[in-house]
Amino acid sequence: MKNLMIGLCFITGIFGLVNFAGAETLRLTLEEAIGLGIKNSSTIQSKGIAIGSAKAATAATKAARYPSLALTGTWTRLFQKPSRVSFFDPSGGLIGTTGFQVALNPLALSFDLNQPIYTFGKIKNSIQKNEKGTEAAEMDLKEETRKLAVEIKKVFYGYILAKEVVKINEETLKFKEETLDAARKKYEVGIVSDFEVLQAESDVANFHPQLISSRNQVRFALLAVMDLLNLKEEDDQEFDVELIGELKPEYYSLDKQEIFRKALDNKYEIQSFQKGMEVAEFQTKLVRSADKPTFSAFGNLTFQSQIDAATGKDIYWGQGSWRTDGRIGAVAQVPISALLPWSKEHADKTKDQLDFEQMRLSLSTIESGTKLNIENLLLKLEEAKAKIASIDKSVELMSRLYRTTRERYGLGLVSNIELRDAEMNLNGAQLGRVQAIYDYTVTFISLLDAVGVDQL
């Protein structure tokens, strides 16, 4: 699934660049808009880097299980040339001398090996703690991707709503222009006075600002989408964006208890808290192991350059030029101070226990809040569904009323004021319907967000 999403992002990105290069209109479906937004999000890219960093931290911790090897090279320069070694008897008389035994420029190479043997869980718990940190970073990336998709869905349907409003207002303006045309024809044959023509002209003129405003809303909604998708027009490169979709309510049979269960399994805030508790648990184990001994083994191999006893010159090459020393051993380190009741380790144990209990209580509060929010959204969803059904009937009624009033106006049975009222009632019902569908759609998206899933 993850690879499929990445593939979608790259395909969508290429599609977008082709349109940009040709300065054409970039047409995007909802899925393509989400893919492009994910591809262009610097926050998501940052979350991806954080995963790599967390994995590197885990690898660094795992390295503590393996032996560490160090190579040390030492070269020394003595400014006072060493002399021969002399031997004296107890009375101070000279017995004799030996050759040179101190090198002027000694060179040494030392190999040191350290291997932990048993640490009472210090290394193991550190590794598991960092692995949980990696899981948390992956969860952060998944959540950031999901939340961006939620925001894109909302602004996407906001744009579709704005376009539907423009379409309804354009149709209403067309009706008003038809009414004006009919009034002029009536005036020409002397059926009505010029006052009715002026009223119709005023009605058309007064409706134009509403249409302009609704068209501006489309542009504003589009700018919000482009901002989320991180699309910016360069000075030397112009492009347009068009979103392809429709406002259509999709009704589902929802099981409240099943939704609650999914929320407890998928809600980021709950998962994040649970992951934090797991990390805290390993941290507590680390603190508890602080007063336990640590056993390790060590080894050392040293190569020391030699000296020609007869001449005092350093020997770096040839037989007898190096002396080899080696040693191995084991170390047991017991932190005595950690056993004392006033030690920092003892205080850390108490603190971790209290912090863990506080986290457990906070998790219970988050779970209760999530359930309450879902309950509220389910009620709003039912309310929005009922509102759509009611408005559908109103639209049907207002459409029939408008057609009847228009026919009667053509026969001279009603005034243009009644026809104008029928036009505006139909306009209001149609606008109310698309707004109700938008509210239902956004409420359902909010429900998915509250549960922490893409679909139910």
The pLDDT of residue 16 = 44
Give yes or no for a contact between 25 and 241, defined as CB atoms under 8 angstroms apart: yes
Residue in this structure with the two tokens 């600002």, named with its chain if needed:
209
pTM: 0.75
Low-confidence spans in the chain with pLDDT less than 70: 1-23, 79-103, 233-239, 309-310, 312, 338, 345
Query: What are 362's two structure tokens?
Result: 């906070």
Predicted local distance difference test score (pLDDT) of residue 294 = 86
Long-range contacts from 241-245, C-beta under 8 angstroms, 24+ separation: 241/25, 241/26, 241/27, 241/28, 242/25, 242/26, 242/27, 242/28, 243/27, 243/28, 243/29, 243/30, 243/33, 243/156, 243/159, 243/160, 244/27, 244/28, 244/29, 245/29, 245/30, 245/156, 245/157, 245/160
Q: What is the pLDDT of residues 130-178, one digit of tens each?
A: 888 888 899 999 999 999 999 999 999 999 999 999 999 999 999 999 9
Q: What is the pLDDT of residue 242?
A: 87
Measured in whole angstroms, how far is the alpha carbon of residue 385 from the centre of its chain?
A: 32
Domains of the chain and CATH, by start:
119-217+248-293+334-451 (1.20.1600.10)
pLDDT value at position 273?
80
> What confidence score (pLDDT) does residue 330 get?
87
Residue type, 253: S
Question: What pLDDT is stored for residue 285 in this prediction?
Answer: 74
